[in-house]
Amino acid sequence: MNRHEPSMRAEAASAALPWWKGAAIYQIYPRSFQDSNGDGIGDLPGITQRLPHVASLGVDAIWISPFFVSPMKDFGYDVADYCDVDPIFGTLADFDALVARAHELGLKVLIDQVYSHTSDEHPWFAESRSDRTNPKHDWFVWADAKPDGSPPSNWQSVFGGPAWTWDARRGQYYLHNFLSSQPQLNLHNPQAQQAVLDVMRFWLERGVDGFRIDALNFAMHDPELRDNPPAPATDRQRTRPFDFQLKKYNQSHPDIPAFIERIRALTDEFDGVFTVAEVGGDEAEREMKAFTEGDARLNSAYGFNFLYADKLTAGAICAALAQWPDERGTGWPSWAFENHDAPRAVSRWWSAGERDAAARMKALLLASLRGNIILYYGEELGLTQVEIPFEQLHDPEAIANWPLTLSRDGARTPMPWSTSAPNAGFTSGEPWLPVGEENARRAVDGQEDRADSLLNHTRAMLALRNANPALHHGSVARCETLDGIFLIERQAPGQTIRCLFNLGAEGAPIPHDLGQGHVLATVNNATAEILPPYGAMVIEL
């Protein structure tokens, strides 16, 4: 076989697809990526400075978590101005420079949009709460107290306690599914819908290539304010009142897809825009499919299949992939093992002695999944969860539920760039969160020139995915475990690729009929006869 044939074949196949189908996306948490001015907080110029590193990985796009004006009570997911940059991150001119540089490097730019709620400091809410007759009086969810003065329904907040807060100015309660400082937008209101669509147009006209839409299934509530039913008994620990209910009425309203169709109509006015929804909760799979069904809704959705999983299992992987068959009308999934809301995967899934080998296997596994794949900043370095003492916590959920909720701060620590520079090269000042000694040793410059580093291995796995149509966008022909070997078989016209994995800490012999074919890659010294602990192999059949 001509050694150029796979890449030529992949280029020809990919040219007929939208850029995002099969894309690898790199998530950047802006507070923690690179500080350019020494205040200890990452910023937009810092991201621009480090874009060559991102481009070198072989990803297609970056997704930047919120950088908008915000009081930062939930670190940007409480937006006070959707159309401006918070001064701690820079200016609109800095954002424009970032987009221009990303495009020079061949990277698309996705940004977060938070449409289910705003900050209580947003001018829309200030006007809405002023009285019951102002033009924005019903842009948020307001309701009278029950006759005994109690909240309008039994709905509970994700972060703990009732989802309703009394406001004396209006003499009513307002809804907040998260912090009390994050009032819920009433997207049943056409004017409120149009306002957020105007926000989306603002950023599209500035050159962004797409959006990750936060908590989209919270975007509409039951207008009748019916009580949620109790959740059935479970052996899982419940740390919040939110966990005791089925979230039937405070989220997942059947009118959300119609709003999504308005989003799609807008994005279709621009070329090559990609939309992906974050969807969590009890009905995530059903909602993800509804939000991406057909050609008039979102391009993709991702849930929490792996983000909070205590273990990485073959059954969970196959079950997730089976939800998204290669059938007309079924949407296109996106997958992440890590993000800003979940503990680092290597710390969740493996002990300290297993992590280096397992991280290499994990990089290939992510690259083998059908759908888009999302890498969280530092995942290419094998960053682990940092233990943050209570007095240094910023995460409001962890503070409220200490010590039962694992802090999200431990997965938001600064990106380590240099093994010798103070604060691992992230900042010349005092970092907003500690880097962590173990993660500092995993800095980019210490891995860059080592051919066997996880950083270079991640590049190789992404290159493998990009060079082979079956891995990049093909269907899933098989997903099963045979004699201790987990396999995913992917197919595209003219190509079948089998990926073999050992998810365990003991060596696993490869049955003869599974290991035959042209070997494209091996992980952790795998051979045609045996997969060592966390070994893997990719074979073209």
How far is residue 226's CA from residue 333's CA, in Å, rounded to a whole number? 32
DSSP state of 491: E
> What pLDDT score was predicted for residue 2?
45
Instruction: Label each residue of 284-342 as H, E or C.
Output: HHHHHHHHHCCCCCCCEEECCCCCCCCCCCHHHHHHHHHCCCCCCCCCEEEEECCCCCC
How far is residue 39's CA from residue 392's CA, in Å, rounded to a whole number? 17
How far is residue 350's CA from residue 505's CA, in Å, rounded to a whole number? 10
- Paired sense of beta strands 172-175 and 142-143, if any: antiparallel
Token pair belonging to 90: 């820079």
Range list of β-strands (E), 467-513? 475-482, 485-492, 495-501, 508-509
First CA to last CA across the chain, in angstroms? 13
Is 269 considered catalytic here? yes
CB contact set of 9 (below 8 Å; sequence gap of 6+): 469, 494, 495
- 529: exposed, middle or buried (Cβ count in 10 Å: 0-12, 13-18, 19+): exposed
The active-site residue out of 112, 209, 214, 409 is 214
How far is residue 33's CA from residue 45's CA, in Å, rounded to a whole number? 10
10 Å Cβ neighbour count for 9?
18
Question: Around 538, how many Cα atoms within 13 Å sit in the side-chain half-sphere?
Answer: 25
How far is residue 67's CA from residue 65's CA, in Å, rounded to a whole number? 7
Contact 472, 366 (CB under 8 A): no
How far is residue 209's CA from residue 268's CA, in Å, rounded to a whole number? 12
How far is residue 438's CA from residue 140's CA, in Å, rounded to a whole number? 45
How far is residue 74's CA from residue 158's CA, in Å, rounded to a whole number? 13
CATH class of this structure's domain 474-540? mainly beta
Token pair belonging to 110: 């996705």
The active-site residue out of 269, 295, 449, 529 is 269
Is 285 considered catalytic here? no
Contact 38, 429 (CB under 8 A): yes
How far is residue 440's CA from residue 387's CA, in Å, rounded to a whole number? 14
> Cα angle vertex 208, ends 79, 111, to 5°?
35
DSSP state of 164: E
> What pLDDT score was predicted for residue 391?
87
> What pLDDT score was predicted for residue 16?
82
Cis? peptide before 532, omega within 30° of 0: no
How far is residue 279's CA from residue 288's CA, in Å, rounded to a whole number? 6
Contact 431, 412 (CB under 8 A): no
The CATH homologous superfamily for domain 5-118+188-464 is Glycosidases (3.20.20.80)
- Paired sense of beta strands 172-175 and 372-376, if any: unpaired
Total residue length of the chain: 541
Token pair belonging to 180: 């009390």
Handedness of CA 169, 173, 177, 178 (dihedral sign): positive
Please identify which residue in the block is written with the tokens 């959006």.
211
Domains of the chain by residue range: 5-118+188-464, 474-540
How far is residue 201's CA from residue 214's CA, in Å, rounded to a whole number? 17
Contact 23, 61 (CB under 8 A): yes
Residue among 179, 197, 90, 220 at smallest CA distance from 400? 179
Please identify which residue in the block is written with the tokens 């016209």.
493
How far is residue 239's CA from residue 160's CA, in Å, rounded to a whole number? 9
> What pLDDT score was predicted for residue 1?
39
- Paired sense of beta strands 300-302 and 274-278, if any: parallel
From the CA atom positions of the chain, what is the Rg in Å? 23
For residue 535, the SS3 value is coil
10 Å Cβ neighbour count for 159?
23
Instruction: Label each residue of 182-238 as H, E or C.
Output: CCEECCCCHHHHHHHHHHHHHHHHCCCCEEEEECHHHCCCCCCCCCCCECCCCCCCC
Question: Around 175, how many Cα atoms within 13 Å sit in the side-chain half-sphere?
Answer: 29
Helix (H) or strand (E) holding 93: helix 92-104
Query: pLDDT truncated to tens, each residue of the chain (541 aa)?
Result: 344 455 555 565 556 899 999 999 999 999 999 999 999 999 999 999 999 999 999 999 999 999 999 999 999 999 999 999 999 999 999 999 999 999 999 999 999 999 999 999 999 999 999 999 999 999 999 999 999 999 999 999 998 899 999 999 999 999 999 999 999 999 999 999 999 999 999 999 999 999 999 999 999 999 999 999 999 988 888 888 999 999 999 999 999 999 999 999 999 999 999 999 999 888 899 999 999 999 999 999 998 899 989 999 999 999 999 999 999 889 999 999 999 999 999 999 999 999 999 999 999 999 999 999 999 999 999 999 999 888 888 888 777 777 766 679 999 999 999 999 999 999 999 999 999 999 999 999 999 999 999 999 999 999 999 999 999 999 999 999 999 999 999 999 999 999 999 999 999 999 988 989 999 999 999 998 999 999 999 999 9
Token pair belonging to 158: 């994700």
How far is residue 536's CA from residue 510's CA, in Å, rounded to a whole number? 11
